[in-house]
């Protein structure tokens, strides 16, 4: 069972509707078992390939689709565009064992809300579904590192030629702390628990960070945290 803090996003409204898409029946069964015990989450369908996922999503209108990458008939990467063309479009989280950078970047570029490895624990899966339903980007910590390293190698910094120190100049101490946690790949819910503040307050901080630093996304903000040395400061307790 999840704790009270995890239930905040769904307690006041209807259940989060989730569609599972994976060609391995045992994986689908395991994910369904985990989610069925989570408050405020309902699994509304299962698909064995991307084409079936698109068809079921059009019928069931899920809030979140957990989508495997490698499937027969139509793989997850090919299905993302069709899923996002639906009205209303679901949030799409890639759920896979393949954590290589090419798949990560292709999934994110195609419009996936996030990327979750199948070896994450049950609580991480539940939190990821809730975060995605709230429009919060979801990246496994290990995946975040992959994205960051690829972007660093490619020189992607965002916000023009401004250096990291310039972009951080307007941040408050709390915003710098939150930015460091974005660099770790933490969701809003995870940040709220670590800091002992409300999820709404975290969202406000994240929005302010993106605005002040000129970052277009949480991934760009996470990259900035690494470029500015915030991660090494956290590691050393600074």
User: Tens-of-pLDDT digits for all 238 residues of the chain?
Assistant: 333 333 334 444 689 999 999 999 999 999 999 999 899 999 999 999 999 999 999 999 999 999 998 888 888 888 998 999 999 999 999 887 766 677 777 777 788 888 888 888 898 899 889 988 987 777 776 676 666 666 666 554 444 445 777 889 999 999 999 999 988 878 788 899 999 999 899 999 999 999 999 886 777 788 788 888 886 555 555 4
Residues 13 and 130 in one domain: yes
Give which of 149, 141, 119, 122 is closest to 187, Cα–Cα. Answer: 141
Q: Is 63 helix (H, G, I), strand (E, B) or coil?
A: coil
* Tally of structural domains, the chain: 2
Task: Point out the domain boundary residue: 112, 139, 166.
Answer: 139
Structural domain range at position 195: 147-235
> Residue 117: phi, psi to the nearest 5?
-80, 145
Domain boundary among 139, 170, 185: 139
Q: What is the pTM of this model?
A: 0.69
Q: Please give the distance of CA 58 from its chain centroid, rounded to a whole number.
A: 22
For the domain that residue 195 is a member of, what is the CATH number? 3.40.50.2300
Domain end call among 139, 164, 185: 139
Same domain, 153 and 124: no
Confirm if 151 and 223 have CB atoms less than 8 A apart.
Answer: yes
Q: What angle do CA 191, 120, 111 make, to 5 degrees?
A: 75
């Amino acid at each position: 069972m999840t704790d009270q803090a995890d239930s905040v996003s769904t307690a006041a409204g209807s259940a989060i509707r989730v569609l599972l898409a994976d060609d391995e029946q045992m994986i689908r069964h395991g994910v369904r078992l985990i989610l069925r015990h989570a408050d405020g989450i309902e699994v509304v369908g299962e698909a064995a390939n991307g084409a079936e996922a698109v068809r079921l999503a059009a019928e069931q209108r899920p809030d979140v689709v957990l989508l495997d990458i490698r499937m027969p008939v139509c793989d997850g990467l090919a299905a993302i565009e069709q899923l996002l063309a639906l009205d209303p479009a679901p949030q799409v989280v890639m759920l896979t064992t393949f954590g290589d950078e090419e798949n990560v970047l292709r999934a994110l570029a195609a419009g996936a809300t996030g990327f979750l490895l199948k070896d994450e624990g049950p609580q991480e899966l539940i939190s990821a579904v809730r975060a995605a339903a709230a429009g919060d980007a979801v990246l496994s910590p290990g995946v975040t590192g992959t994205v960051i390293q690829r972007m660093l190698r490619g020189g992607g910094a965002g916000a023009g030629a401004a250096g990291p120190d310039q972009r951080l100049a307007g941040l408050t101490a709390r915003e710098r702390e939150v930015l460091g946690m974005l660099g770790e790949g933490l969701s809003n819910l995870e940040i709220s628990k670590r800091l002992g503040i409300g999820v709404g307050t975290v969202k406000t901080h994240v929005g302010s960070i993106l605005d002040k630093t000129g970052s277009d996304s949480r991934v760009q903000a996470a990259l900035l945290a690494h470029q500015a040395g915030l991660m090494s400061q956290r590691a050393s307790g600074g």
